[in-house]
Amino acid sequence: MTDSIDELRNRVNSFVTERDWAQFHTPKNLAMAMIVEAAELVEQFQWDTPQESTQLTPEKREAVSHELADTFVYLLRLAEVLDIDLIQAANEKIDLNAKKYPADKARGSNAKYTAYEK
Which of 49 and 1 is assigned the larger pLDDT? 49
Instruction: Give me the mean pLDDT over the 92-101 stretch.
Output: 95
Q: In this predicted model, what pLDDT tens digit does every residue of 16-46 receive, in sequence order?
A: 999 999 999 999 999 999 999 999 999 999 9
Q: What does DSSP assign to residue 4?
A: S
> Alpha-carbon torsion 8, 10, 14, 16, what sign?
positive
Residue 67 pLDDT greater than 60, yes or no: yes
List Cβ neighbours of 54 (8 Å cut-off, separation of 6 or more): none
Instruction: Give me the mean pLDDT over the 39-67 stretch.
Output: 97
Q: From CA 98, how far away is CA 106, in angstroms rounded?
A: 10
Structural domains in the chain, sorted by start: 1-84 (1.10.287.1080), 86-118 (no CATH)
pLDDT at position 117 is 65
Q: In this predicted model, what pLDDT tens digit does every residue of 101-113 receive, in sequence order?
A: 999 988 898 888 8
> Alpha-carbon torsion 76, 5, 87, 70, what sign?
positive
